[in-house]
Amino acid sequence: MSHAFRSLLQKVGSGSHTSKDLTRAEAATATFMMLQQEATPAQLGAFMIAHRIKRPTPDELAGMLDAYEQLGPKLAAIESPHPVTVFSAPYDGRSRTLPISPLAALILAAADAPVIMHGGDRMPTKYGLPLIEIWQNLGLNWQRLTLSQIQQVLATTGLGFVYLPHHFVQAQAMVPYRDQIGKRPPFATVEIMWSPYGGQAHLVSGFVHPPTEERTRTTLALRNAPFFTTVKGLEGSCDLARSRTAILGLGQSDGSFDRLLINARDYGFSSEDPPLLDEAEAIAAIQGVIEGKPGEVSQEVSQSAIWNGGFYLWRCGVCSSLEAGFTLAEKLITQGQLQQKLSQIQQAIAALTLVAPS
């Protein structure tokens, strides 16, 4: 048993009236000890559930991110005319709505605005469709690349994916505890604020509940990461909904913050989010959009891709207005540039020596 960790556990696990918040340094130490498994399994599980009940503070989240930065993978800064966007969404995937962020990522990459995504396999508590499976079905085997190879692909194509089981094994080792406690631990909150990129990034953080957005804003301020976008997204993802007003927080490089509310109907889009009814059908619909030949299902997915892609093109400074962003996103789809970008990434990966699948 770790006696040092026991004292930190006692602070957060003493009950609603007597528990105490950790300092940023204490939270970093606790996270480091958990990721390094210096604490016992009983201590790990107890800390996760106690910290969830107490609710992590921004100082604690900043400390946890400090530990992630110390132990986790980091892609080096690349040359780019536009900021590198890091999409940070819940790792336990999607179960109700079709994921749009892979299409938004291809739109941005096709417009020379690089994108990094991160995540793992099917994960508790939802065990929903993860992004890695979508990319694999599109012919991109990120899980078989080393971190240095992902760096090469990012630099040459503008897209990269950090795969938790291979690139951050300490964090992956925490996954079984999520299933055992039956709840998302604070690690799940850290993941939607984490950027595995060594340069100045545009972090996009999805959320469900309004208090999460406020914690994100304060945490990123403590971390000196002023350029970010928060999205009350579909199932907590970075995907803007069409069925309701999109609630967005825009953290600017100068430290200011703006609130943006936009409704898809005001820009000529229908108000329906594509459901995730069948995963094979979902992949086929995404492929249809990429190929520029959307069928009945793909047509609705294409509308969401334009809605999301256009917003992010504007947010990254590729376009001067939302309207220009939507126009460019549609053009990139209809002129086959998503297919060209996907083919470029496939070829870049094929030229590398892939590691054996685990």
Residue 298 is inside which H or E element, if any?
A: helix 296-315
pLDDT the model gives residue 1: 63
**Residues ≥6 apart with Cβ < 8 Å to 175:** 120, 123, 124
- CATH (residue range 18-71): 1.20.970.10
Residue entry with tokens 């207005």 = 321
Q: What is the pTM of this model?
A: 0.96
Cβ contact 75:201 at 8 Å? no
Q: Can you give the pLDDT of all 358 residues of the chain as single tens digits?
A: 678 999 999 999 987 778 899 999 999 999 999 999 999 999 999 999 999 999 999 999 999 999 999 999 999 999 999 999 999 999 999 999 999 999 999 999 999 999 999 999 999 999 999 999 999 999 999 999 999 999 999 999 999 999 999 999 999 999 999 999 999 999 999 999 999 999 999 999 999 999 999 999 999 999 999 999 999 999 999 999 999 999 999 999 999 999 999 999 999 999 999 999 899 999 999 999 999 876 666 889 999 999 999 999 999 999 999 999 999 999 999 999 999 999 999 999 999 987 766 5
Phi, psi of 121 (to 5 degrees): -85, -170
- Rounded-to-integer distance, Cα 189 and Cα 57, Å: 11
pLDDT the model gives residue 16: 74
Q: Write down the domain spans for the chain.
A: 18-71, 84-344
**Residues ≥6 apart with Cβ < 8 Å to 347:** none
pLDDT the model gives residue 356: 61
Pairing of strands 246-251, 257-262: antiparallel
Q: Is the dihedral of CA 253, 259, 264, 265 positive or negative?
A: negative
pLDDT the model gives residue 297: 66
> Which pair of tokens denotes residue 45?
């599980």
pLDDT the model gives residue 152: 98
- CATH 3.40.1030.10 at 84-344, yes or no: yes
pLDDT the model gives residue 167: 98
